[in-house]
A and B are shown apart, each in its own frame.
Chain A
């Protein structure tokens, strides 16, 4: 059995990733998939054991191939705007694990200085655009980041904006994509279609068979792919990036996956009531990590022992960052009133 995925473009067969990527890349991808898995497990565990006492943990189990596959082909100067099930993307794009954990624990040295929680952070120096809880809003904000690049003559910098299938029902998603398409901005909207927006199933959010069909309304390409297949995600992103970089405008990449966990850690019980358990169990069998490992073995380049499950050092790396965050100082109460206004321009009394 081979999970090697080939794609047809203009009748030509493209080569599988393992024929284009170095063996070291394949290993790095494998490690990143495991990083994402262990990151999720560590935070669920911390919440369960009371080491993390505030905020929700938004699970990403089963969505790892999307995070890794959409970021691996990016250039260092590209932009991303990750959402709540993409926490490892912050690390893949240059934040330290310590910074991310300080954010989760609401610490003074977190990117938001403890002001906001979880994924609502960014760093424009790293090309990470801050998102909000209103997921669709960021699609429109992305247009502005790209407009700034246009003004600077940098039309080939791509922005990958993540969103959920539910957020494609919002107005800003439409206004943002419409604007991007009219002005041919290099925006790639990755729709993590995990089939549930909290408890609402995709068919109550989207009237078409796929989310990607929304692209028809903007006259842009829309892909609907297996989001649990790393190679499918990676290959599609390579195509989408080439399209956007060449000045052809935005692309929708719908990654079909499944939210194995609840909406957040508080939702684990109810999430097994508002969804059929058999459905959850079916998707657990489509695990992206298992599939990628099988793919690597099928290439003939790897021995079983080269692909430990999980790689030994990653859990320890995450634990070290958690310990760092727990022991790092809380923000001083008075700092709650800082950073509301920036008066450095000196034009206000």
Chain B
């Protein structure tokens, strides 16, 4: 086992996959000579050279498209979005080109690509360096969506994402990069976390909290707090948003009968809306209270601290809503 930060776990996974499979290559802005804006790919250029660690022009479309075309020809490209917000430039490549490719090739041409990058708020990043657009791709057939919360999951999920034969959008919450530490298995163990498997990070009796990304840490903090009040939260870390692990969700719902869904993106049309709908369709008779959501307000993520705090969900929001649910 190795103790690493969240960021180092991602770096280790990328490095080991590059060592394992010569078909894997990285492409992005400033990822080569510089080692990436956040330093995720430091040392890669020196080890793997300019053809496998590609310093691309500021061209998100071309960056993702290069991975797509290379995938059609048998390679496994990992595209770094310097900030995942910039994936909007490459939206057509993810949705209309990569997402549909297997379908329109009659099942013959899988597109194993990973589009990864730092996401999320709480760091004063303002409008274009703070967003969580996972719902866009959650809505897109043919694409998988991953967002880990802990180093071991980030490590195992990144390896699985690279080995997966489908386009995967991989959200790395920048708030976690250097704040969260944990142990990951040694390289020779070849550890992966299968995509589509949630993990219960805390067992509880009263309320099922379904969440992912940085919100997992918020939920765990809220759970600690509420424990003193005699309210027991079960915290499910989805890890993979698509495919969604409904079995783990439903099993927990049947135990607690109360559901709180927490996500950092704007509330309307978010991933939590779909989860809520599915629980209602599949486990309505098990529910003792309305399904509640804690999410960002339907706004952009603003710059000034009081504004950002007002828009994004907080530990207090989770505590407050969980109390309401417990009392229902």
Q: Pick from B65, B74, B104, B243: contact of A140, CB below 8 A.
A: B65
CB distance from B207 to the nearest CB of A (A): 25
Q: Is the CB of A172 within 8 A of B57?
A: no
B76-103 vs A, CB cutoff 8 Å, 1 = contact: the mask equals 0100000000000000110011001111
Contact A345-B109, Cβ < 8 Å, known A151-B52, A176-B62, A178-B57: no
Spot the interface stretch: A141-149, A193-201, A254-262, A271-279: A141-149
**A160–B96 alpha-carbon span in the complex (Å):** 21
Q: Pick from B107, B142, B164: contact of A345, CB below 8 A.
A: B164
Spot the interface stretch: A52-60, A130-138, A287-295, A322-330: A130-138
Question: A113 at interface (Cβ–Cβ under 8 A)?
Answer: yes
Q: Is the CB of A142 within 8 A of B106?
A: no
**A341–B104 alpha-carbon span in the complex (Å):** 12
Contact A148-B74, Cβ < 8 Å, known A130-B101, A339-B102: yes
Question: B301 at interface (Cβ–Cβ under 8 A)?
Answer: no
**A342–B106 alpha-carbon span in the complex (Å):** 11
CB distance from A57 to the nearest CB of B (A): 19
**A175–B75 alpha-carbon span in the complex (Å):** 21
Spot the interface stretch: B2-10, B190-198, B249-257: B190-198
Q: Is the CB of B103 within 8 A of A340?
A: yes
CB distance from B326 to the nearest CB of A (A): 32
**A343–B196 alpha-carbon span in the complex (Å):** 12
**A327–B242 alpha-carbon span in the complex (Å):** 40
Most buried by B among A133, A339, A343, A349: A339
Residues in A neighbouring B165, C-beta threshold 8 A: 341-345
Q: Is the CB of A141 within 8 A of B68?
A: yes
Q: Is the CB of B73 within 8 A of A113?
A: no
Question: B32 at interface (Cβ–Cβ under 8 A)?
Answer: no
A98-117 vs B, CB cutoff 8 Å, 1 = contact: the mask equals 00000000000011110110
Q: Pick from A130, A133, A341, A345: contact of B105, CB below 8 A.
A: A130
Q: Pick from A113, A122, A147, A348: contact of B194, CB below 8 A.
A: A348
Q: Pick from A132, A133, A147, A348: contact of B69, CB below 8 A.
A: A147
Question: B211 at interface (Cβ–Cβ under 8 A)?
Answer: no
Most buried by A among B52, B68, B77, B243: B68
**A151–B27 alpha-carbon span in the complex (Å):** 13
Question: A179 at interface (Cβ–Cβ under 8 A)?
Answer: yes
**A117–B2 alpha-carbon span in the complex (Å):** 52
Most buried by B among A130, A144, A340, A341: A144
Q: Pick from B70, B92, B160, B163: contact of A148, CB below 8 A.
A: B70
B198-225 vs A, CB cutoff 8 Å, 1 = contact: the mask equals 0000000000000000000000000000
Q: Is the CB of B72 within 8 A of A144?
A: yes
- B-side interface residues, number (CB < 8 Å): 54
Question: B56 at interface (Cβ–Cβ under 8 A)?
Answer: yes
Q: Is the CB of B97 within 8 A of A145?
A: no
In chain A, positions 299-339 with a C-beta closer than 8 Å to chain B are: 338-339
Q: Is the CB of B65 within 8 A of A141?
A: yes
Residues in B neighbouring A342, C-beta threshold 8 A: 102, 107, 110, 165-166
In chain A, positions 189-223 with a C-beta closer than 8 Å to chain B are: none
**A182–B97 alpha-carbon span in the complex (Å):** 23
- A-side interface residues, number (CB < 8 Å): 47
Question: A129 at interface (Cβ–Cβ under 8 A)?
Answer: yes
Residues in B neighbouring A270, C-beta threshold 8 A: none
Q: Is the CB of B108 within 8 A of A144?
A: no
Q: Is the CB of B104 within 8 A of A112?
A: yes
Residues in A neighbouring B166, C-beta threshold 8 A: 341-342, 348
Most buried by A among B57, B96, B108, B112: B108
Contact A348-B144, Cβ < 8 Å, known A144-B73, A145-B70: yes
Q: Is the CB of A140 within 8 A of B107?
A: no
**A151–B54 alpha-carbon span in the complex (Å):** 11
Q: Is the CB of A143 within 8 A of B93?
A: no
**A134–B65 alpha-carbon span in the complex (Å):** 13
Question: A51 at interface (Cβ–Cβ under 8 A)?
Answer: no
CB distance from A176 to the nearest CB of B (A): 6
Question: A38 at interface (Cβ–Cβ under 8 A)?
Answer: no
Question: A121 at interface (Cβ–Cβ under 8 A)?
Answer: yes
Question: A76 at interface (Cβ–Cβ under 8 A)?
Answer: no
Considering the complex, give the chain B residue whose CB is closest to the CB of A146: B69
Q: Is the CB of A115 within 8 A of B106?
A: yes
CB distance from A151 to the nearest CB of B (A): 6
Q: Is the CB of B164 within 8 A of A171?
A: no
Q: Is the CB of A349 within 8 A of B196?
A: yes
Residues in B neighbouring A172, C-beta threshold 8 A: 61-62, 65, 92-93
Considering the complex, give the chain A residue whose CB is closest to the CB of B245: A349
Q: Pick from A110, A122, A179: contact of B109, CB below 8 A.
A: A122
Interface residues of B (CB under 8 A from A): 22-23, 25, 51-52, 54, 56-57, 59, 61-62, 65-75, 77, 92-93, 96-97, 100-110, 112, 141-142, 144, 160, 163-166, 192, 194-197, 243, 245
A132-B97, A141-B69 are known; give 10 further A-B pairs, CB within 8 A.
A124-B108, A130-B101, A132-B104, A137-B92, A140-B61, A151-B23, A151-B75, A172-B93, A339-B106, A342-B110
Can you list 30 pairs linking A and B with CB atoms under 8 Å apart? A111-B105, A112-B106, A115-B106, A123-B108, A124-B109, A129-B69, A137-B61, A140-B69, A140-B93, A141-B97, A144-B70, A144-B73, A144-B75, A145-B72, A147-B25, A147-B54, A148-B75, A150-B51, A151-B22, A151-B23, A151-B70, A175-B65, A178-B57, A178-B59, A179-B57, A338-B107, A341-B165, A342-B166, A347-B160, A348-B194
